[in-house]
Structure 1
Amino acid sequence: MDTEQPKRKIIHIDMDAFYASVEQRDFPELRGKALVVGGSPEGRGGVVATASYEARKFGVRSAMPSKRAQQLCPHAIFVRPRFAAYKEVSAHIREIFSRFTDLIEPLSLDEAYLDVTVDKLNIGSALEIAKQIKQAIRDELQLTASAGISINKFLAKIASDLQKPDGLTFIGPSAIESFMEALPVEKFHGVGKVTADKMKQMGLHTGADLKKLSESLLVQQFGKAGHFYYQIVRGIDNRPVQPHRETKSVGAEDTFAEDLETEAAMNAELERIAPLVHDRLRRHGLKGRTVTLKIKYHDFQQITRNHSFLHATDDLEQILDAAKKLLLATLPDGKPVRLLGITMSNFSEAPVKKNKPENPGQLTLF
């Protein structure tokens, strides 16, 4: 007979349109306006970091090219990010969290997991703690947050996204099975568009569909992630909240609808991917010394190549230039490419002794 582990109490807090909300709070003339925080749509164009809910109504989303955002919402106001201001607000939010628990795992400036199985104030109810955190953020910072509460990280994160903005969603133990069975596969945290499309082609549209497959079949179809899907569709996620969680790498990749066959087409994709990596570095307040290029060919052969700078950087031009040089050094003649990815890592401060422009060492990405 299995011994059931005591249920944990996990909260996922996600600030609502964080950068845009801070801008609208600090500059009243922006309130109620379609606001895009990110790179300018002019020239080569930047990337959307965050869009206000007024802009999201037009389909504007984070990580979207700013040019596309302007096409969708021509009257949008574009402002550059003020990362120092966001970090200051984030530190205040973290201090609010610490009033209730020390088990805090930040994911970025605007979201974190909290384990309140045992809380400092002996409140006992995770739902009540989430309400108090939301109220403190509103009272002290004039901002709103959405909270998800459940027995593990996966469910808490999904719950926080269900009633945005200013949401509060609790998924209790008795509701987990029916909730997971009804959840569309594209809503599973960690399932990207390509994987979701593959699932749908297999007739897998909801958690209930996934649940019908054996673990071995899921692993056969989706690799190691199959183990995760098998567990999570049953509401099982034993990952602990890690207070000292350290970001090891920041990256972005894309699988193309049609294989790329020319260097020009590949460089054009790198020019699209690199700004996403740059934006994520800035969002996490990180600078890296190692840029890694991931290439998957049409035959599914995969390689990675990396280059280390003398000093840590978050400079877009440096990252893009290094990725292009790595691509040029590794392109076999006439071999189509189905995926490209760029990752930054090695975030420590000590400078490397020398550059290693063509180190073929394999890195674990994403």
Structure 2
Amino acid sequence: MRAAPTILHLDMDAFYASAEQAAKPSLRGKPVVVGGLGMRGVVATASYEARRLGVHSAMPMAQARRLAPNAAYLVPRFALYRSVSDQVMELLGRLSPLVEPLSLDEAFVDLEAGGVADDSASARLVGEQLRTVIRTVTGLSGSVGLAGSKMLAKIASEEAKPNGLLLIEPGTERELLAPMSVRILPGVGPATGDHLRRAGMTVVSHLAEAGEAELVRLLGKAHGAALHRMAQGYDDRPVVAERDAKSVSVEDTFDVDLHDRARVRTEVERLAARCVQRLRDAGRSGRTVVLKVRRYDFSTLTRSETLRGPTDDPTVVREAAARLLEAVDTTGGVRLLGVGVTGLADFTQEDLFAQAADARQAADARQAADARQAADARHAADARHAAGESAATTPGKPDGTAADAPDTAGATDAPESEEQPAARRWQAGRDVRHAVHGHGWVQGSGVGRVTVRFEEPWTPPGRVRTFGVDDPELRPADPLPLVRDAVDYSSWPASLPKSLSGPVSAEGEESSP
């Protein structure tokens, strides 16, 4: 614990949804929900207007639509979010060499290490200036917590939301924490919280009063002792500039359960390729391949295979994931698949070229087996066809089809989005550009039409027009910056430009964009 509140925690307010509102003037002040739009999609972020209607992150999208039927439902645009995040992290880096990002929209900063604050007054000034410069540079708001420890700084930023600042003076920690729910402490999730509730402990003061021995008895030595210290406000974890990832993984939830084994294997191979790409983007390799399968009944199976050494070879990871799939029963259907790599390292071993060769040989063998199976299937089909030639004259309809066969004339099995090139699948929220009308975003699409609202972050709400999905003048586009004119903040934080130096309320009166 520090004697001064020089650890800062920044948390951008409803980040994805606020970015969408800033980019789309017609959505400002209205409920916005960002996430997967399919039948099994989940909410990534909801604007504060949507939260007031009961929508929250991790909620099934179907439930969100019931609670807020008139909200705008948009797919995430990570290119935009990463761009804004990079701007915010650069600002934080100007405050201190010790910046610990937790996600795209959240980070700890050690102000003392940066020499910009050494007491409550200077820490508060930096926090207020930071919120102002973030608003000016990105158009978005963030909440700031300041305290003598990471735990308390994060709690402070949560209490300050939205668009506020809260500083916890050293020495007041226990008084502040006492009436708060035990769930506010790190490491107290739903299961631990329920366990403590059954023991009669619902607020932090109950934990402090219970004593370390009782918490150790209930939760085990490590967890119990740590929780007792946190309940008294103690947390000596340092701000770490680089958080070392323990794993890299990707997963997909499918709108409709997958029953075809070949399709499941194809999806696993696709996920493996994405996982390796992320691994390479991070400049890492990994030794253990992990497969995750969630079945139709929500049961989740995890299988892993440890290689001879770390690798970033896509063939090695793909074949390992395929071998793991062979040991999993997918009868009944699969609703989620995931592929991950753990045991990360900064290098790959030379002898893994031999491992890759082994994997390629296995792939060749599997391909040959698949070819034989396909040939057998064709032979069987030919035999069935030869035996059933007379079926063409089965009594029923005048054209010779069976009387109970469905009439599929003019119908198509594939949904419209699958008939178009991937770049022309118009999803709600995506950026587009029209040769005549300029930049806009997709409000919705269906039955061969796409509806677009033409507006930019710095314009009034725009007009809505509808086009055919194959209109040659309509093209996908990259997101526009949220602020039209670049702001020169090269002198910050040493001296703020006049345009950034206005007073900022610590009470959060300003509204989110």
Tell whether the structures are fold-level matches, with TM greater than 0.5. Answer: yes
Contact 2:285–2:348 (CA<8 Å) still a contact in 1? no
Contact 2:6–2:117 (CA<8 Å) still a contact in 1? no
Contact 2:108–2:239 (CA<8 Å) still a contact in 1? yes
1:306 aligns with 2:301: no
Q: Which amino acid aligns with 1:68?
A: Q
How many residue pairs end up in the alignment? 304
1:19 aligns with 2:16: yes
Name the structure 2 match of 1:154: 151
Contact 1:22–1:143 (CA<8 Å) still a contact in 2? yes
Return the offset for 1:110.
Answer: 0.2
| Among candidates 51, 54, 57, match of residue 49 of structure 2 | 54
Q: Deviations over 1:168-219 (max 9, x none)?
A: 1111113112112222112223311121111111100111111122323312
Superposition map of 1:115-264 within 5 A: 115-121=110-116, 125-223=122-220, 224-249=222-247
Contact 1:323–1:342 (CA<8 Å) still a contact in 2? no
Contact 1:99–1:120 (CA<8 Å) still a contact in 2? no
Q: Deviations over 1:63-108 (max 9, x none)?
A: 2221121122111211111111111100100111122111100000
Name the structure 2 match of 1:75: 70
Q: Which moved more, 1:111-120 or 1:161-170?
A: 111-120
Name the structure 2 match of 1:88: 83
Return the offset for 1:345.
Answer: 4.0
Name the structure 2 match of 1:98: 93
Q: Deviations over 1:14-39 (max 9, x none)?
A: 00000111111111122122111110
| Separation in structure 2 between the aligned mates of residue 220 and residue 294 of structure 1, nearest angstrom | 35
Return the offset for 1:48.
Answer: 1.2
Q: Which amino acid aligns with 1:59?
A: G
Name the structure 2 match of 1:359: none
Q: Secondary structure at the residue paired with 1:182? A: coil
| Among candidates 29, 34, 42, match of residue 31 of structure 2 | 34
Contact 2:7–2:111 (CA<8 Å) still a contact in 1? yes
| Separation in structure 2 between the aligned mates of residue 217 and residue 325 of structure 1, nearest angstrom | 47
| Separation in structure 2 between the aligned mates of residue 323 and residue 115 of structure 1, nearest angstrom | 44
Q: What TM-score, normalized to structure 2?
A: 0.52
Contact 2:98–2:114 (CA<8 Å) still a contact in 1? no
Superposition map of 1:268-287 within 5 A: none
Could you say what the CA RMSD is over the residues aligned between the two structures, in angstroms?
A: 4.0
Return the offset for 1:349.
Answer: 8.4
Return the offset for 1:306.
Answer: 2.1
Name the structure 2 match of 1:66: 61
| Separation in structure 2 between the aligned mates of residue 326 and residue 218 of structure 1, nearest angstrom | 41
Q: Secondary structure at the residue paired with 1:117? A: helix
| Separation in structure 2 between the aligned mates of residue 147 and residue 322 of structure 1, nearest angstrom | 48
Contact 1:150–1:170 (CA<8 Å) still a contact in 2? yes
Return the offset for 1:163.
Answer: 2.6
Q: 1:342 to 1:131 in 2, by over 3 A?
A: farther
| Separation in structure 2 between the aligned mates of residue 6 and residue 294 of structure 1, nearest angstrom | 49
Q: 1:118 to 1:32 in 2, by over 3 A?
A: same
Q: Secondary structure at the residue paired with 1:101? A: coil
Q: Secondary structure at the residue paired with 2:228? A: helix
Q: Deviations over 1:274-330 (max 9, x none)?
A: xxxx9xxx9xx98997436699xxxxxxx97425798699xxxx9x9999877659x
Contact 1:306–1:326 (CA<8 Å) still a contact in 2? no
Q: What TM-score, normalized to structure 1?
A: 0.71
| Separation in structure 2 between the aligned mates of residue 251 and residue 9 of structure 1, nearest angstrom | 35
Q: 1:179 to 1:312 in 2, by over 3 A?
A: farther
Q: Secondary structure at the residue paired with 1:13? A: strand
Q: Secondary structure at the residue paired with 1:238? A: coil
Q: Secondary structure at the residue paired with 2:171? A: helix
Q: Deviations over 1:137-176 (max 9, x none)?
A: 1111110000111000000101101131102111111311
Q: 1:250 to 1:203 in 2, by over 3 A?
A: farther
| Separation in structure 1 between the aligned mates of residue 32 and residue 285 of structure 2, nearest angstrom | 30
Return the offset for 1:220.
Answer: 2.5
Return the offset for 1:54.
Answer: 1.1
Q: Secondary structure at the residue paired with 1:162? A: helix
Contact 1:41–1:70 (CA<8 Å) still a contact in 2? no
Q: Which amino acid aligns with 1:137?
A: I
Q: Which has the higher contact order (CA 8 A, sep 6+)?
A: 2
Q: Secondary structure at the residue paired with 1:71? A: helix
| Separation in structure 1 between the aligned mates of residue 66 and residue 219 of structure 2, nearest angstrom | 36
Q: 1:14 to 1:40 in 2, by over 3 A?
A: same
Name the structure 2 match of 1:334: none
Q: Percent identity?
A: 37
Return the offset for 1:342.
Answer: 9.6
Structure 1, unmatched stretches of 5+, are 253-277, 296-302, 330-340, 356-366
Instruction: Kindly name which structure, 1 or 2, has the bigger radius of gyration based on alpha carbons.
Output: 2
Q: Which amino acid aligns with 2:157?
A: S
Q: Secondary structure at the residue paired with 1:14? A: strand
| Separation in structure 2 between the aligned mates of residue 247 and residue 236 of structure 1, nearest angstrom | 26
